[in-house]
Amino acid sequence: MPRVLIITGAVITILASVAGLLTTGVATFYSASIARAQLRQSQEAAEEKRREHAARVSYWVDVRADGTPRLHLTNRSPDPISNATMLFDTNHPGIVDEHRPATWQVIFIVKVPSVPPCSDLVFTSKEMRFGANESVTHPADGHPLPDPLGAQWRAYGAPPNITTRWVTYTDRDGTLWQRDGSGLLTQPTALDFTTEPGMPGAVQAVQPQSLKGCSGDGGLFP
């Protein structure tokens, strides 16, 4: 009988140890699951916050009451953006000869080192130029041209139509973002400079205009 009691006690001890290990394992698994869920939620919240700031940058065209189109690069976030690259084009009405009217497409690749917080860069045809001949190329690094412009660049005689393609920019955390002409916001892995054939265009530097408020989500329009 004592031996049976000893064996029974040993079995109970083993079962209790196994139960303890199972309980500890379940608790550890549950704690790890909670930690993973909290980490995922934290990462999602950080990504949402980054996207919220990036979404306050917009790239759009409006038309003034006198019919003049204006290109805007607007930063409504409380932080500056850097290394902005704008790709857009214009359709410039011209004349090949007196019998054949034609439309010239002018391609612009413009780089802006920095856009201050709560500001708007506005470009009109007054700041835009197109190459006077086929030998003219885009300005080095695509940066705005100094004023005055050289004779190789011509001014527009009449305001052209402006079509936005895309703009890329870097936020305060160093993340690269891209917004296309329809307003879609993405994080690109590569930039596509493919365009239809056209003449090179360039712009004069403009001063950022302060905005009255910085509310809103950026979007396609301010």
Task: Mention every residue, 6+ apart, whose C-beta is less than 8 A from residue 126.
Answer: 155
pLDDT recorded at residue 14: 61
Summarised one tens digit per residue, pLDDT across range 36-73 is 655 566 555 555 666 777 889 999 999 998 888 999 99
pLDDT recorded at residue 62: 94
Of 31 and 18, the one with more pLDDT: 31
Residue 113 CA: distances (Å) to CA of 116, 144, 179: 10, 10, 17
List the one residue out of 203, 41, 73, 44 whose CA is nearest residue 130: 203
Question: Which residue intervals of the chain are DSSP H helices?
Answer: 2-54
Site of tokens 């709560």 = 118
**β 209-210/185-186 pair status:** unpaired
pLDDT recorded at residue 18: 53
Task: Mention every residue, 6+ apart, whose C-beta is less than 8 A from residue 20.
Answer: none
The CA-to-CA distance between both ends of the chain, in Å, stands at: 89
Summarised one tens digit per residue, pLDDT across range 89-134 is 998 666 444 544 556 788 899 999 999 999 999 999 999 988 866 6
Query: Mean pLDDT across the stretch 167-195?
Result: 87
Provide the percentage of residues in the chain whose pLDDT is more than 70.
60
Pairwise CA distance, residues 82 & 54, whole Å: 12
- Global confidence as pTM: 0.71
pLDDT over threshold 90, residue 3: no
Structural domain boundaries of the chain?
A: 1-54, 56-210
Site of tokens 């608790």 = 27
